[in-house]
Structure 1
Amino acid sequence: MSRIEQNSATFQKDPTEFTPTSFKVIGKREDIPVLKEIGQKIDESKRLKEEGNQYFKQKDYKKALSSYNKAILYVIGLVGEDDEHYQYGNASSKLNKEQESIVKELKCSIYLNISQIDLFNKNFSKCVERATKSLDIKQTAKGYYRRAIAYMELNDFQRSQKDFEKSLQLDSALEKDIQQKIQQLKQKEKQEDKKSQAFYSKMFY
């Protein structure tokens, strides 16, 4: 068997639900039982999210991340009527309005929680990615705040300041903390400017 055939043999599209971009990896998801009913998938996602929250409180971020990732797997392929993939779904993937609202809140919350773990682990690019997924579903002060910190650590100062300002617009209680972060941002930007000037000055004689 060729290498390409070996690789393709390890993947099999999951026939139980429509997921536009995800594939089931055989032998990698034995701990993810296949559930066909939407209500079961939502309930299991909620359970795993709460499990992740408990691990998070215990500062066991590795286990928390594992639980959150499993929680997302149960709802990632579920689509509401406004979703572009709705027409391609089957009975086990199409949501009614109430279910759609619940699933959106679940996804938003889980991605938001994962973004905090990314910050703790200094995975700033991943934090931007997860926070953005959360914000695409629902704009929250926490989402903008966490993405702003990640942008600051990535030296993307303009985007960072914009996100801090959006976070403040959504939650005025964060004003003191955000003003401190913006000052920290400006200081970091000045330091980076000095480093750049020193670097480029060495290139000229």
Structure 2
Amino acid sequence: MASNEEITGPISQEDIEAADKLKNEANEYFKKQSYNNAIELYSKAIEKNPKNAVFFANRSIANLRLENFGYALSDASKAIELDRSYTKAYYRRAAAYMSLGKYKLALKDFEYVTKVRPNDQDAKMKYTECNKIVKKIAFEKAISVDKKEVNIADSINLDAMTIEDEYVGPALEDGVVTLKFVTELMEFYKQQKKLHKKYAYKILIDVKAYLQKQPSLIDIKVPDDAKFTVCGDIHGQYYDLMNIFQLNGLPSETNPYLFNGDFVDRGSFSVECIFTLFSFKLLYPNHFYMSRGNHETLDMNRMYGFRGEVSSKYTSQMADLFTEVYNWLPLAHCINGRVLVMHGGLFSKDDVTLDDIRKVDRNKQPPEDGIMCELLWSDPQPMIGRAPSKRGVGCQFGPDVTNTFLQRNGLDYVIRSHEVKNDGYEIAHDGKCITVFSAPNYCDTMGNLGAFITMNGKDLKPNFTTYEAVPHPDVKPMAYANSFFNMLCQ
């Protein structure tokens, strides 16, 4: 992000006025939720006047909205460096820290504001709320250490759960998912009804048992004349998921799918999405695949709504069970030995092989670096080489990195998701790195198309289908997200 921040010496009145004009234009784009345009103009304002803390703080919040947590953090820190008394910059930095799961560092920022402004009630309230979150997480960690040997899936007593007479929803047949069950479930969900907790728990326990036996890298064989579909992020947009099946047919043994992570969070129908997808996984285990995304993690679920949604629709115990299940999701899939599919991207080192991915011990929350982290978090960049991630986690990799990785592993190209694209997809790195994103009008604000990829087993040539968002019931995105975090990001 070029910003000429190191410029010293006086800035002309002309540049100051031009910068303010650019900032005002950027603010208008921000209000329209056109965050990329806003960032471009804030950056131009910074070039004209790199000594104005407001420009950096404003660019920070725009980057937060785009989930560029690393950039948001550095911008907020620069704003603080320029103006130590600028309260809003501390709040921006705290929001960036929280987005990255660094709650104690966020608390330090709030603590500083309360010290320098002891009569500021807003600062006091934010400090108190953040402190509650830090204490709650510490408490949860202490309990999990005490209960290290307790496996939630094993502790669920399904026999003790009764199906009430008034429940008229879909039912498992002899405890098994059938096509009848899934089709009824999808219709039931469209009417905003809730699957019985006994069936919900059974699905989670069975999915976990299946996933535990799978490697971290799944090899998929697609026959020459067969079709295969890859979908990107769904993010709790259930009605758009239903539209994909409308456009491309329901999953079946002759219509296999791979969903490439980020099934939940942000959208407020995440429970409906994940139980539909897990049901198909149990119904067609060898023709329906799911990769872990960076949002199938505890910190993301805590901030962006999934934990809140599960706790609201079911229980916090079920939310903990989801965390257990997500830890076993595969990290990547390889189609016919020629196309590698992962949620995020490639690696900070050139020597990574498919065997290295196969050997990853994935039953955990992703670490802050290494193969597992980069598979979930990295992004491509147009420039050669590598750069620190705009997200603050993973890395950014150029076309040369992609080429080296493909040659080393005998692959044709990679498919990844993880980033909103206006057309629902993007072809980069000379056609060798493809992004697919399947949540149209992401968060009801971005105005993007969604897309999915179809290919046949013979040539594996990617074909793109794009589509617009469909109407959904009046439940706003992030309805179940941490309310304190939502407040910080306003």
Q: What TM-score comes out, normalization by structure 1 length? A: 0.57
Give CA-to-partner distance per residue, 1:58-94, whole Å, 9 cap, x none: 2221211111011111123xxxxxxxxxxxxxxxxxx
> Structure 2: how far apart are the matches of 1:20 and 1:130?
10
Of residues 109, 131, 134 in structure 1, which corresponds to 2:79? 134
Residue 191 and residue 170 in structure 1: after superposition, are their counterparts in 2 closer, same or farther (change >3 A)?
same
Residue 126 of structure 2 corresponds to residue 177 of structure 1: yes
Residue 127 and residue 179 in structure 1: after superposition, are their counterparts in 2 closer, same or farther (change >3 A)?
same
- Structure 2 unaligned regions, length at least 5: 149-360, 362-490
2:47 aligned partner, one-letter code: L
Matching residue of 1:79: none
Matching residue of 1:51: 25
- Maintained 8 Å contact 2:5/2:46: no
1:151 positional shift: 1.7
SS in 2 for 1:136: helix
- Maintained 8 Å contact 2:110/2:126: no
> Structure 2: how far apart are the matches of 1:176 and 1:146?
16
Of residues 113, 123, 129 in structure 1, which corresponds to 2:58? 113
Structure with greater proportional strand content = 2
1:153 positional shift: 2.8
> Structure 2: how far apart are the matches of 1:20 and 1:163?
23
> Structure 1: how far apart are the matches of 2:76 and 2:102?
15
1:45 aligned partner, one-letter code: A
Matching residue of 2:68: 123
SS in 1 for 2:97: helix
- Maintained 8 Å contact 1:145/1:167: no
Structure with greater proportional helix content = 1
1:112 positional shift: 0.6
- Maintained 8 Å contact 2:53/2:83: yes
1:43 positional shift: 1.5
> Structure 2: how far apart are the matches of 1:125 and 1:118?
9
Of residues 130, 136, 157 in structure 2, which corresponds to 1:187? 136
* Aligned-residue CA RMSD (Å): 3.3
- Structure 1 unaligned regions, length at least 5: 1-18, 23-36, 77-103
> Structure 2: how far apart are the matches of 1:196 and 1:155?
19
Give CA-to-partner distance per residue, 1:160-193, whole Å, 9 cap, x none: 2111111333451312233223212332444566
Matching residue of 1:147: 93
Of residues 138, 146, 164 in structure 1, which corresponds to 2:110? 164
Residue 74 and residue 126 in structure 1: after superposition, are their counterparts in 2 closer, same or farther (change >3 A)?
same
1:118 positional shift: 2.0
Q: What TM-score comes out, normalization by structure 2 length? A: 0.26
Residue 145 and residue 60 in structure 1: after superposition, are their counterparts in 2 closer, same or farther (change >3 A)?
same
SS in 1 for 2:101: coil
Task: Name the larger-Rg structure.
Answer: 2
2:115 aligned partner, one-letter code: Q
Residue 198 and residue 166 in structure 1: after superposition, are their counterparts in 2 closer, same or farther (change >3 A)?
same
**Bigger Cα displacement from structure 2, 188-197 vs 112-121:** 188-197
1:159 aligned partner, one-letter code: L
Residue identity (%): 27
**Bigger Cα displacement from structure 2, 162-171 vs 54-63:** 162-171
1:64 aligned partner, one-letter code: A
Matching residue of 2:16: 42
> Structure 2: how far apart are the matches of 1:119 and 1:20?
20
Matched pairs, number: 142
- Maintained 8 Å contact 2:77/2:89: yes
> Structure 2: how far apart are the matches of 1:50 and 1:141?
20
Higher relative contact order (CA 8 A, sep 6+): 2
- Maintained 8 Å contact 2:107/2:130: no
Matching residue of 1:61: 35
